[in-house]
């Protein structure tokens, strides 16, 4: 071998050029300083997102209390507008679930109390064929309506027996959705003494208590992520590999099991509005978009808070590019679903759009799993 050839060989070995692989020998996610930056940025993102959600929920609570103090059509509309305005902020936080963090920790997690669904309407209030249904209309059985009572009844004797959270409030504001072309049409006079329905005072109390409890539950989750305190304090000291595994698990589970599966495929297959996420307000397509925004934000990151993409790209730019494309395609497919969702799942071209979104989410989930595997992070794709 000539001296020149020997020199070229030595240079190739020095930079790993002869291996045909971009793998770094002995790569350890825990020792990667950029991995620590990404994991810590995630914790900061979670805290900020729950802060925003709590603020929006407090505005909803304020609107509800103002309405209950002096019921009017305008006040009722303001309550519904505040609910719709708050939902996207919460929807984005759902990407922080599915790994046993504060929101869904066993025994202490508040997710079921905050966002449990689907909700059996007749567990809370009257329905079309049963004016005596629900906690509201059972003063003998439930003489007092307060946070302890409705929180204690949540999921009692069945997972659809939901009495708290976003969807209980949604039902109290909109009522049953009996219109294929629009949301529920509960009249504001359901909350006016001597108005429509009955037990108006109990209904007013229930609405206020549910709003207060929602804010309190969100505040508890937000506090857990407060920097240097609670769960957040342990997050910054744990293995970076474990933290980033949890981050990936959250977005993979939301993308595939929850959003593409429970929230879209079940409703698409059954063609039943009872299976849609926000069926009373017809806000379901906006819920989907917010969930997807949450997934994308965690993977893509920002200049201030780098995401998972920087770690994946450093290892394999092609895998990162594929994940980015899958995120873009799924976002576009979700946005293309026509509202309301209960109409889209029943006929064309809506069903085609829903199926396209389901397929795009499958591709996205696979791309995210591949990105996680690249970092030696073994996420689960099973419920």
Query: What is the reported pTM?
Result: 0.91
- 11 occurs within a structural domain: no
**273-313 tens-digit pLDDT:** 888 999 999 999 999 999 999 999 999 999 999 999 999 99
pLDDT tier, 2 (very low <50, low <70, confident <90, very high otherwise): very low
pLDDT tier, 383 (very low <50, low <70, confident <90, very high otherwise): confident
| Residue 15 or residue 169, greater confidence | 169
- 379 occurs within a structural domain: no
The rounded distance, in Å, linking the Cα atoms of 127 and 130 is 5
- 4 occurs within a structural domain: no
- 140 occurs within a structural domain: yes
What is the residue range of 293's domain? 29-374
Q: Do 108 and 122 contact (CB within 8 A), yes or no?
A: no
Please count the structural domains in the chain. 1
The three-class DSSP label of residue 306 is strand
* Separation in Å, CA 235 to CA 239, 271, 302, 308, 314: 8, 42, 20, 16, 24
* Separation in Å, CA 18 to CA 1, 44, 55, 224: 16, 41, 56, 49
- 139 occurs within a structural domain: yes
Position 27 scores a pLDDT of 65
What does the mean pLDDT of the chain come to? 92
- 383 occurs within a structural domain: no
Return the CATH number at 110. Answer: 1.20.1420.20
- 72 occurs within a structural domain: yes
- 274 occurs within a structural domain: yes
């Amino acid at each position: 071998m000539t001296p020149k050839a020997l020199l070229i060989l030595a240079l190739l070995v020095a930079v790993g050029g002869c291996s045909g692989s971009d793998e770094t020998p002995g790569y350890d996610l825990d020792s990667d300083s950029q991995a620590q930056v990404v994991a810590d940025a995630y914790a900061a993102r979670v805290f900020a997102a729950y802060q925003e959600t709590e603020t929006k929920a407090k505005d909803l609570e304020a609107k509800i209390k103002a309405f209950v103090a002096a019921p009017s059509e305008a006040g009722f509309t303001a309550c519904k507008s505040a609910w719709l305005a708050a939902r996207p902020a919460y929807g984005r936080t759902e990407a922080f679930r599915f790994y046993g963090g504060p929101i869904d920790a066993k025994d202490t997690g508040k997710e079921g109390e905050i966002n449990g669904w689907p909700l059996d309407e007749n567990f809370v209030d009257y329905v079309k064929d049963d004016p005596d249904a629900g906690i509201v209309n059972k003063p003998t059985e439930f003489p007092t309506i307060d946070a302890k009572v409705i929180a204690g009844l949540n999921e009692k004797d069945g997972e659809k027996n939901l009495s708290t959270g976003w969807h209980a409030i949604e039902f109290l504001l909109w009522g049953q959705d009996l219109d294929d072309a629009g949301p529920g049409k509960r009249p504001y006079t359901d909350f006016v003494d001597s108005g429509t329905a009955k037990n108006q005072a109990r209904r007013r109390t229930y609405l206020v208590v549910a709003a207060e409890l929602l804010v309190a539950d969100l505040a508890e989750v937000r506090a857990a992520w407060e920097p240097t305190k609670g769960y957040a304090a342990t997050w910054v000291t744990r293995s970076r590999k474990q933290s980033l595994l949890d981050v990936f698990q959250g977005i993979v589970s939301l993308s595939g099991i929850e959003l593409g599966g429970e929230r879209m495929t079940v409703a698409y297959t059954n063609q039943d509005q009872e299976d849609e996420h926000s069926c009373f307000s017809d806000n379901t397509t906006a819920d989907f978009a917010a969930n997807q925004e949450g997934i994308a934000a965690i993977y893509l990151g920002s200049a201030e808070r780098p995401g998972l993409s920087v770690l994946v790209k450093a290892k394999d730019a092609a895998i990162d590019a594929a994940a980015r494309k899958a995120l873009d395609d799924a976002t576009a497919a979700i946005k293309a679903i026509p509202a309301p969702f209960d109409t889209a799942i029943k006929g064309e071209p809506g069903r085609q759009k829903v199926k396209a979104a389901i397929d795009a989410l499958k591709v996205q989930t696979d791309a995210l799993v591949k990105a996680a595997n690249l970092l030696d992070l073994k996420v689960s794709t099973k419920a």
